[in-house]
Amino acid sequence: MAYCSWLRKRGDMEIEHLREFAILARHLNFREAAADLHISQSALSRHIAALEQFYGTALFKRDRHAVYLTDAGAFLLDYAEQLWEQFPLSREHLQRLFSGERHLRISGIVGHPSFYPYILNAETRLRAADPTVTLRVERNTSASLLEQVEALQSDETDCALLLSSVASTRESYENMESIRLGHVPVSLIVRRDHPLAHEPLLTADALQNGRFVHFTGPDFSPYWHVFSQLLDEAEITYTTAPYPANSEYDIIRAIDAMGTDLYLSPRTSILPAIAQNPDAAIIPLVGEELTLDLDLLYRPGHKEDLVRLVAPCLEGAFAAFNATL
């Protein structure tokens, strides 16, 4: 459960520090915020320093007389408040997700942080359909079809949620079955000063001979092999530009440095760091050849009754998720 540990702790940064950050942002005074939190000022300072180290940037400006939010701090504030509001609910949901005797193990892109609300919605629907069944999210968060087929064959998972291009090779499924849960639109992300930035929609022709960003960090690059398939199948000539990314702040910096590079993202999982970046333009792509499918892959005869019980819950949750875009 890689993304759970990402949410809980990275280095010395803990989820509680986001709440402390939000309270300090409200008071803009270390003494008052520490009193509100019932901790010492020195502890609060250490926790804010840990957050700043985690995000790689200053969140507050400090002088002798006042404390101010930096631009990065103001950007983080809304995100931190939303995460903290959801965190108490997540404990209840996660206990249901990862425990229970009658369970269905699911792997694949559900482990990516952007799919966290989606899987919680699906679990809520499943509980209404049959409260004796729970989903268990596995550690294997690879978006690779071949890796998930291997995991199914070796009984490391019961089913896998995958994004696939329209013409994905069915030979790769081997003896597996799949259930189509929906279609995922794709968006192109460019710098605001890019020649394509003001286009309302784009087709495949606009992507010809482009250089595409490939984020290489483990939390931010689960889709590139799918997009490379998509580009190949659409007969688009392209090159790639690898960008290392270990945090959302790295992605903000990458957008600033992209120049004329292009970045593809499923519209269902555009990171807040990009959606709220004033230097980024997000343009919907149109055309069947530029659409991804969301598939549930499983091994025939293995917990197939549970798979078919869970599939409508995943499909309904995805439809609700997609409708918010």
- Of the listed ranges 65-79, 124-138, 158-172, 207-221, the one predicted with least confidence: 158-172
Burial (CB count within 10 angstroms: exposed 0-12, middle 13-18, buried 19+), residue 63: exposed
- pLDDT of 310 > 70? The answer is yes
3-class DSSP state for residue 301? coil
- Of the listed ranges 31-45, 114-128, 160-174, 283-297, the one predicted with least confidence: 160-174
- pLDDT of 57 > 70? The answer is yes
Q: Kindly state the average pLDDT of the residues 274-296.
A: 87
- pLDDT of 22 > 60? The answer is yes
Give percent of the chain above pLDDT 90.
34
Torsion, Cα of 148, 150, 152, 153 (10° steps): 160
pTM of full prediction above 0.75: no
- Write down all domains in the chain, each with its CATH number in brackets: 2-87 (1.10.10.10), 92-182+294-323 (3.40.190.10), 183-290 (3.40.190.290)
- pLDDT of 59 > 70? The answer is yes
Cα–Cα distance measured from residue 106 to residue 162, given in angstroms and rounded to the nearest whole number: 11
**Assigned token pair, 43:** 């502890």
Helix or strand holding residue 1 (H, E): none
pLDDT band per the 50, 70, 90 thresholds, residue 83: confident
- Matching residue, tokens 């519209």: 267
Torsion, Cα of 212, 216, 222, 228 (10° steps): 30
Helix or strand holding residue 308 (H, E): helix 304-323
CA-atom Rg of the chain in angstroms = 21
- pLDDT tens readout for residues 213-264: 887 766 555 577 788 888 988 899 999 988 887 766 677 777 778 888 998 9
pLDDT at 325 (0 to 100): 66
Beta strands in the chain (DSSP E): 9-10, 13-14, 60-62, 67-69, 103-108, 134-137, 159-165, 177-191, 210-215, 238-243, 263-266, 280-284, 291-298
CB 178 within 8 A of CB 295: yes
- pLDDT of 306 > 90? The answer is yes
Chain mean pLDDT for the chain: 81
